[in-house]
Structure 1
Amino acid sequence: MNNKGMSLVYVWDAYCGWCYGFSDSLKAFHASHPELKLTVLSGGLFIGSKKSSIGSYPHIPEANKRIHKLTGAEFGEKYEKLLEEGSFVLDSEAAARGLSALKYFAPDKAYKLASEMQIKFYVEGKSLSSEKTYLEIARNNSLDADAVINRFNSNISAKDAYNEFEQVQALGINSFPTLLLKKGDELIPLGGGVMTNEKLEIRLNEAM
């Protein structure tokens, strides 16, 4: 398969349960195609008026059950406690700033870092607005933790986050997760959600 000049664009949100469910499929797919650079863009699911407590979204528990049933994704006990208590604030801007800070220092690990963020939240019940979460991820990946935190707290990371939200809007994408194949100037949807690695391979072959 000739993949020269092609790359992948992944549009996600750190607080999107379906993105968490899609993570194993994308990991396997990406591992099979290391020649395809993967760019991760944050979509801004919970910003502005949508930034609110997790209890303000009563559909989430049932959605999680569907995600588990269809993808096998496991939700940790500490996350379940956050969900039950209901006051935890879903803030996609803070999460996008966090990913921006992390991937600035390790752009080649962008998806690995994004995946670790979701494990911190959906398994360990940790906030993606907290410096401590990014300290742990930075240290786990041998990054300069202090530099990551300084960037996370800077206006630069906020600007980066909103630039990504605008890029996603310009692409006309409002459903997460969405995986795209960049082929020259063309962006071809490969899928997302409950798609398996095998189905992604089929879509890639069709796109070729």
Structure 2
Amino acid sequence: MNNIQDKLIYVWDAYCGWCYGFSKSLQGFNENHPELPLTVLSGGLFVGHKKLPIASFSHIPEANKRISQLTGVEFGTPFQTLLEEGAFVMDSEAAAKGFSALRFFAPERAYYLASSMQQAFYYEGKSLNDPATYRKIAIAHNLDPEAVLARFEDVASTKDAHEDFMKVQQLGVQSYPTLFLQKGDEFIGLGGGVMTAEKIEARLESIIS
């Protein structure tokens, strides 16, 4: 059905609630298409002047209600407490470094590692700026936690995170999450947001038929 070089590119940010909402749709679609390798890139949503306390983003509580209604994901009590306190700083660079450290040791499981990160933040209220969070995720995925933490602290993970940000900019992504089908040098949008696995499937069918 698919050309050998066709693959999926998923652009996300660990601190993006809509990405958390999209995770089940993407998982269902991805598992239906083992023939399409999936590359996951961190987008850098809260970096530079946007790296602010969560209370600075007044739209988040209302957005989260919509995300829950439309996708069925649950925001855990520890996260809600973090949101109400308002002081927590979402640092997408730190999160991208953490993702890079995990991905380095299990690139074929990148999506599942990303999903575990969002579960840790949005359900368990764990900081994705904190190395301890990556220790826990590493153990859960049978990765060497010490090796993951060493990689997290290494300059290589910062370089890797910045390379992801650069690739995402080159793709011209304006919103998260965004899923692409890459056909050779062409990148075709498959969707994101609140799309179900079935809708992504229909979009793929319309592209390849």
Question: Would you call these one fold, judging by a TM-score over 0.5?
Answer: yes
Which one is further off, 131-140 or 2-11?
Answer: 2-11
Equivalent residue number for residue 163 of structure 2: 163
1: distance between equivalents of 2:174 and 2:92?
14
Matched-pair contact (CA < 8 Å) for 1:3–1:36 = no
Match of 2:117, SS state, is helix
Give runs of aligned pairs for residues 109-188 of structure 1, distance below 5 A.
Answer: 109-188=109-188
Task: Write the deviation string for residues 161-187 of structure 1: whole angstroms up to 9, x where unpaired.
Answer: 111101111111121000000111111
TM-score, L = length of structure 1: 0.99
2: distance between equivalents of 1:99 and 1:36?
21
Equivalent residue number for residue 104 of structure 1: 104
Match of 2:10, SS state, is strand
Match of 2:75, SS state, is coil
C-alpha RMSD of the superposition: 0.7
Match of 2:14, SS state, is coil
Which one is further off, 188-197 or 1-10?
Answer: 1-10
1:73 Cα shift? 1.0
Q: Kindly, what percent of the aligned residue pairs are identical?
A: 62
Structure 1: give runs of 5+ residues left out of the alignment: none
Task: Write the deviation string for residues 77-105 of structure 1: whole angstroms up to 9, x where unpaired.
Answer: 00000000000110000000000000000
1:3 Cα shift? 4.3
Structure 1: which 4+ aligned runs deviate by more than 2 Å? Answer: 1-4
Structure 2: give runs of 5+ residues left out of the alignment: none
Equivalent residue number for residue 201 of structure 1: 201
Match of 1:52, SS state, is coil
Equivalent residue number for residue 32 of structure 1: 32
Q: Quick one: which amino acid aligns to residue 69 of structure 1?
A: Q
Match of 1:187, SS state, is strand
Equivalent residue number for residue 87 of structure 1: 87
Match of 1:8, SS state, is strand
Matched-pair contact (CA < 8 Å) for 1:5–1:183 = yes
Task: Write the deviation string for residues 91-134 of structure 1: whole angstroms up to 9, x where unpaired.
Answer: 00000000000000000000000000000000000000111100
Match of 1:11, SS state, is strand
Matched-pair contact (CA < 8 Å) for 1:101–1:152 = yes
Aligned pairs, how many? 208
